[in-house]
Chains A and B, each alone.
Chain A
Amino acid sequence: MEDRVILRVGAKILIPYILLFALYVQFHGDYGPGGGFQAGVIFASAFILYALIYGLAHARRVLPLELATFCAALGVVIFAGVGIVTLLKGGLFLEYGVLRHDPVHGQHLGILLVELGVFTTVFGSMVAFFYSFAGRRTGRS
């Protein structure tokens, strides 16, 4: 789709807002609908849109497959790491209350970190899925 001017310009306008909306969904998940999972998918969809319009090769230059799979693993590490930290601080696994002196603040911090882990994993996974499926096509991309 290299020559579709409307698509290229439209995507270029849309992608920043998609990314911004994903971050809004991520950090507003405490107050409205949304959270790490949805935000990760939306964030990934911006990259998928970019790959669809500008071709897979360009998208892979922006975000290589290795980085996407690394993100997928990193999210699990963040999530489990929060659990380990709460263990080390004397609580139960994933008991966020011990992260801070005030349990409610600890819960806030824990949920923020855990949602970040979910976001990272989902984002990396979705991009890696798309790369894997789209990358099998030989010739046209």
Chain B
Amino acid sequence: MTAIALLRIRNLVAVVMLAGIYSLLSAGLFTVMDAVDVAFTEAVVGAGISTVLMLGTLALVGRKEKAPDRHPVLPLFVVLVTGAALVYGTLDMPRFGDPGNPIHHHVAPRYLEESGHEIGIPNVVTSVLASYRGYDTMGEITVIFTAVVGVVLLMATRRRRWPGEGKGDDDGG
């Protein structure tokens, strides 16, 4: 419901608010599925920070979306074909929630059984993120750092006007 409304509304402030609500609903869904760490991240990042950042962006670009001037038949076709291919791909996957799935037999049992005395931390998610998958987490924060370098270089520096540049263009860096 929220997602459909997201697509139909042209007032971007309302869209941002709906996106935040959508994130919050997903967080609730994750909580129901017992993934509290994911739910926490979704609530904090998806519903919290990204809403603020998107509102900050709207303050820069205006709050109305232009109505499309073409009929989206070809994009719709491409999306439908891709979606059908993806659904067809899922038919080969093991059934959802089946205890015999490969994902439950690969490394998960070892994490659940061994991390108690290998790491000694009750929250297995933290053990996995910080210790077993330390490389990945380091990659993640490097990605965030790279993003911040890009954003600060693009956005936070004062716009410099070169001598030959006209005054008409106002789209920044």
Contacts and interface: CB of A to CB of B under 8 A. Distances in A.
Is B one of A's binding partners?
yes
A88 to B, nearest CB: 16
Contacts of B154: 132
Contact of B53 (A25, A32, A75, A133): A133
Given A65-B152, A125-B148, A133-B155, A42 B44 contact: yes
Given A72-B148, A135-B156, A79 B121 contact: no
Contacts, number: 153
B49 interface: yes
A41 B49 contact: yes
Chain B residues touching A, majority SS: helix
B144 A125 contact: yes
Nearest to A41: B44
Interface in A27-77: 29-35, 37-38, 41-42, 44-45, 48, 52, 65, 69, 72-73, 75-76
Contacts of B119: 104, 107-108, 111
Contacts of B39: 33
B51 to A, nearest CB: 11
Interface residues of A, number: 53
A38 B53 contact: no
Contacts of B40: 25, 33-34, 38
Contacts of B123: 29-33
Interface residues of B, number: 46
Contacts of A111: 119, 121, 126-127, 130-131
A80 interface: yes
Contact of B138 (A35, A80, A137): A80
B152 A133 contact: no
A134 B147 CA distance: 17
Contacts of B101: none
Interface in B111-142: 117-123, 125-127, 129-131, 134-135, 137-138, 140-142
Given A107-B131, A111-B127, A137-B59, A30 B141 contact: no
A118 B126 contact: no
A44 B49 CA distance: 9
Nearest to B122: A31
Given A94-B131, A96-B134, 8 more contacts: A45-B52, A48-B52, A52-B52, A94-B138, A103-B118, A111-B119, A128-B156, A133-B53
7 contacts: A30-B122, A65-B152, A76-B142, A94-B135, A107-B120, A130-B52, A132-B156
